Structure 1
Amino acid sequence: MLKPEKAALRKALRSRRKALGGFPRFQATRRLEDRLERLTRGLSITSVAAYCAFDGEPELDGWLKRHRGQIWLPRVLPDHRLAFHHADPKSACSRRRLPRTNRFGIIESADPRQRGLNSLDALLIPLVGFDAHGNRLGMGAGFYDRALAQRHGRRPLAIGVAFACQEVDSLPVDPWDQPLDYVVTDTGVIDARRSPD
């Protein structure tokens, strides 16, 4: 069951994210992609689970085309888990072809090749909201929380992706909420592993 404060916050932050439009959104997206590229190169991240933008999320098309490693896109399974399927970085999120979409209208990879989350270097996670401690607010279905809870051994990094306008001072946290390692925005990169308690 959704906590009322989370539901209200989710609605407000989705509106804030969608309100960023036109040239300011274009500029913010370019800055975000540049920061994401520097972070992934600096951490030697090659095998990445990315996402195709939906509902005003930052688009990563430019970053995807420049990425020098493998891209895997999440696919929502009937049991509400995520599977990660191979995608061509140059056309992964293209709407020009007739893409495979899930029941939410989000583009997924139709490629049968699949990898487990723990074999990836990082998971890029679109956010509705976040705070400097690495707490995240998603769309509410819990897909990413369930996936992140399965990390073990060589853990892939959890990297949140959002516009700076989506940051809040603090988020309500439930026991099942999974924190992020980094948050990349158009104004900077937060290393949540080093954030003060």
Structure 2
Amino acid sequence: MDKVNHQLNKAELRRILLKTRQSMPVREWREKSDHLCFYLQNSTSFTQAKTILAYFSFRQEPDLSPLFTNTKYRWGFPRCVDKSIHWHIWTPNDSIQSGAYGIAEPHPDAPILDAAEVDLILVPSVACDYQGYRLGYGGGYYDRLLSLPQWQTKPTIGIVFEFAYLSEIPIEPWDKPLKAVSTETGLTHKG
């Protein structure tokens, strides 16, 4: 990047980082995803959780699927409905379908998860910075969710590859930092 990160606007930074991620060779993507999963599953936030919200990898997002077979945890996955996210319980035997934006999601009939049951949220991100701020995909789904009173206190871990873990990203007044960030080189807690 020929400019300093804070000089790039969100759309430009998002475009560059998504292009970088999608140009990663599949073997490297798999290896980095596996390393990220290793650090994640050995973190206290993870091992102390019972119900974890995750996501199905899309366009070479870090792939967390090796974790989903661990039956010690109850897994929740998002389904985009209008401008909000509905969370459904999902097990590896359950069906998935293509939803908004072509992203895999649980079947609408799958059991709904209530915020009170959730112990940890693994947040898909285009980038995160050292302060825990997240650059999302521009739809505002997670921003809206995490600003709701019942979700504000939930532990959140931003999931990114190391190249997208930046010293600074452009932020808006309403942006809230995540509690931790996980990459293929480790997990860092914020504040």
TM-score (norm 1): 0.85
Q: Residues 36-55 of structure 1: matches in 2 within 5 Å?
A: 36-39=40-43, 43-55=47-59
Shift of 1:177: 1.6
Give the whole-Å Cα distance in 2 for the aligned partners of 1:176 and 1:156: 17
- Matched residue, 2:4: none
- Matched residue, 2:78: 74
- Matched residue, 1:86: 89
- Matched residue, 2:69: 65
Aligned to 1:138, which of 117, 136, 143? 136
Moved more, 67-76 or 112-121: 112-121
Shift of 1:71: 0.4
Moved more, 63-72 or 130-139: 63-72
Shift of 1:190: 1.2
- Equivalent pair of 1:51/1:126 in contact (CA under 8 Å): yes
Give the unaligned 5+ runs of structure 2: 1-7
Q: Which digits, 9 at most, give the CA deviation of each residue in 1:123-153, with x for residues without a partner?
A: 1111101111101001000000000001448
Q: Residues 1-197 of structure 1: matches in 2 within 5 Å?
A: 5-39=9-43, 43-66=47-70, 68-78=72-82, 80-88=83-91, 90-91=92-93, 99-110=96-107, 111-152=109-150, 155-193=153-191
Give the whole-Å Cα distance in 2 for the aligned partners of 1:42 and 1:59: 16
Give the whole-Å Cα distance in 1 for the aligned partners of 2:182 and 2:149: 21
RMSD value, Cα: 2.1
Shift of 1:189: 0.7
Shift of 1:155: 2.2
TM-score (norm 2): 0.88
Shift of 1:68: 1.5
Aligned residue pairs: how many?
Answer: 184
SS in 2 for 1:114: coil
- Equivalent pair of 2:62/2:160 in contact (CA under 8 Å): yes
* Structure 2 counterpart of 1:73, one-letter code: F
Moved more, 126-135 or 100-109: 100-109
User: Where has structure 1 moved over 3 Å in runs of 4 or more?
Assistant: 40-43, 151-154
Give the unaligned 5+ runs of structure 1: none
- Equivalent pair of 1:86/1:112 in contact (CA under 8 Å): yes
Structure 1 residues 91 and 57, CA, compared in 2 at 3 Å: closer, same or farther?
Answer: farther
Give the whole-Å Cα distance in 1 for the aligned partners of 2:151 and 2:17: 34
**% same residue:** 27
* Structure 2 counterpart of 1:102, one-letter code: G
